Chains A and B, each alone.
Chain A
Amino acid sequence: MRKINSWILAAIAVHAGIAQADWPGFLGPGGNAVVDDRLPLTFAAAKDDQPAVNIAWRTELPGRSVSGPIVVDGKVITTSSSAMEGRWMHVSAVDAETGEVVWLRSTKATGRPYCHPLSANAAPTPCTDGRQIYAFFSSNDLVCYDVDGNLQWFRSLTDQHPLAGNDVGMSSSPIVVDGVVVVTVECQADSFTAGIDSATGETKWEISRPRKANWSSPRVATGHDRQPVVVMHSMQDLVGINPQSGKVAWTVKLPCSSTTTSVFANGKIYVPSGGVKVFELPQAMQEPKPLWESSRANPSSASLLVSPLGVLTLNRSVLVCCDEQGELKWQTRLPDAGQFWATPVIAGETMYAFALNGKCFVVKLSEEGGEVLEECELGAEVLGSPAISDGAMFVRATDALWKISE
């Protein structure tokens, strides 16, 4: 299992009860897709007479997926949706070594699965506490399996919230913290965040949220007191929620990005808000203190990353690095990149940024700048952020799962 950069991430892992999960949810361990691992610096799909390079396997799976994969118990877990209007929802477990499908489970949506053609009902990235897998779908269906694929429980959140949903599809990814699965559904109508008992599937708490479309995901943060707090933002606020009670511990009035997600790292919350605004969180249940802000670091569709070099953002095709005071260190244009939806990942000193067209920019990061080492081609649509485990990168294209390793 790869080493994690910070003691804070380790503390979060303990809180979340992560046992064997290498990549337990959206943006990986601790919710900041930066790990100390080593991945191939180049890779390519087989093309014409050219053999594949550093592709261990490619496994086709049913339907379409724009979610990211997770890794637990030697399996890569990924979601997809298929059939008319994406009503059938799939959770697949693929052997991380061989690429064989270990199990595939299907359920049918009970809510509205409609979404923009670029998206899918399978948009949120699943999460795990190492024992169970929690998969959430745009149709507001939440399903829990154990790592062997046995259904533990199924919840239709549409039952209580028939108006929840929007016209381009929901994508907020769930988190699990101390036995509570937190899902947030913010849209033009019935907006809410719920804490679901991970053992039983019962709702522990629920709070109302602003009636504005929001695709960002909740995060777990911890203060010096090691207490976890659920941090989430909307177009009007940044809030901290007690995961056990659902009580809003603090609120900062702040217009935040409705697309990208906040990151907690190094005891600070990095919030996309017309740039990046950074807060210190001394105590989990007390309002965080503003530290600095930068308009230069302004993530557009992909979420920001906090690396040892500083804060990295993709503003369209420009990769920007700011230091921990918000000053611009450098910026690099990724040539002919097109659009990025997938949040990049960083392994060691190398960033892997997948554009929508399947081209992956391998960028060497240093104090001096970002050097594009390779432009690797998978020839597939990639909208979900990859997962990293044991020197391998697992990439969820819309139609298949890829393992990239030497």
Chain B
Amino acid sequence: MSTLHYYFRGLLPLAALLLPIHLKAQDPLSALDAAASDVRQAAVAAQELQARDDLELTSVLASMKDKSAVAKNWYLSVAQSIADRHPDQTLKELQQFLPRLSEDSTARYWAFSYLTRKDDQLREQILESMLADPCLELRYEAVALRLERLDEAKQLSDQERLGAYRELLAAARLPSQVQEVAKHLEELGQDVNLLKHFGFLTQWQTVGPFNNVGQVAFDLVYPPEQDYLDGELDAKNAKTLSKAYPGKENEVTWQAVSTDKEDGAIDLNVAYDNAKGAVVYALGAFTSTANQPCEVRIGSSNAVKVWVNGQLLINREVYHAGATQIDQYVAPVQLKAGVNSILVKVSERAKGRLGAGFCVSITVYR
């Protein structure tokens, strides 16, 4: 069993400095919300809105909050048309809009891009204060800028560098950027426990292999999966894991598998003798201190299904050619206070890729 590390990959927004703008009851922008389901309707609405001269840029941007990813792009088209008509006014308004941390991240990043598109100095000046920004893209660029500067700052002592990289390790969210910062720290002699930093689940009970030759088994329910869905399996209780199942070639039983790799990868080749065309199930458990919304994240070069507390959250029948990527698939999950169960079904397609395994983390998102 693993204890959930509260890895704050999500962010804690600070209180907004300014009150968000509230649109009037008859919100002319609401027609854009149909964008995801009706492109024709959204196009008509957008073209009408793009032509209007009575919309405020900041109102349009403020309206993007909680809208779908597709709808946000329609909102941006309206914002862009206002910006085209009133370039000077736009700069003033965006300078006021950008610091509003509670506004939509896509809207704020667009504002940042517009403001700084011809002004590198302003870009760097703004990014100075963005290391803890709730917009992950702004934060990413702020970290990237600091990394660039640290590379150039030859005069800094090792101690000063250590301090700076530690700050960046705390700020970075994108796995590749975290790994880059960790590499710098390790070059300076500081060990970084990425396994802990990313909050990977390291202890699993696994059973297999079951047959997947010809990729027949992704949607086939083998007995361990049924037992899990029936609530009969508990990773904490060995008695529930004593059952033997008919496997691909022989009878198979649960066995403990763990990892201490930095990328959290559970190597299934060792446990399953390089089995090919196989399905393996991995059962885990973790503790949450409260009922709370979180995210489950998995990376795997094999096809995977992931259940938490019996609910299927990730269902990806993709047999990847590349290596396992951290956070390849992410799904929201509502955790319960106390012990939560997780089941991962790994389906391999006769390429010997069980060794690439999978890596799972549960992250708190605020």
Contacts and interface: CB of A to CB of B under 8 A. Distances in A.
Given A85-B174, A110-B70, A154 B137 contact: no
A106 B113 contact: yes
B32 to A, nearest CB: 11
A143 B35 CA distance: 13
B274 interface: no
Contacts of B72: 108
A168 B80 CA distance: 32
Given A105-B80, A110-B70, A114-B325, A88 B113 contact: yes
Interface in B267-322: 316-322
Contacts of A152: 43
B77 A83 contact: no
Contact of A201 (B43, B77, B110): B43
Given A110-B69, A150-B50, A84 B81 contact: no
B73 to A, nearest CB: 4
A156 B43 contact: no
Given A62-B117, A188-B318, A153 B174 contact: no
A201 B40 contact: yes
Contacts of B80: 105-106, 151
Contacts of B322: 167-168
B39 to A, nearest CB: 4
Contacts of B109: 83, 88, 108
A186 to B, nearest CB: 13
Nearest to A163: B318
Contact of A189 (B40, B50, B318): B318
Interface string B24-40: 00000000000110011
Size range of the interface on B?
35 or more
B141 A83 contact: yes
A154 B35 contact: yes
Contact of A151 (B74, B110, B318): B74
A106 B317 contact: no
A85 B137 CA distance: 9
17 contacts: A83-B109, A84-B141, A88-B113, A108-B72, A150-B50, A151-B50, A151-B77, A151-B80, A153-B42, A153-B43, A154-B42, A166-B321, A167-B320, A189-B316, A200-B43, A201-B39, A202-B39
Interface of A: 62, 83-85, 87-88, 103-108, 110, 114, 143, 150-156, 159, 163, 166-168, 187-189, 200-202, 213
Which 9 pairs from chain A and chain B are nearest by CB?
Answer: A167-B322, A151-B77, A189-B318, A84-B140, A201-B39, A110-B69, A107-B73, A84-B137, A153-B43
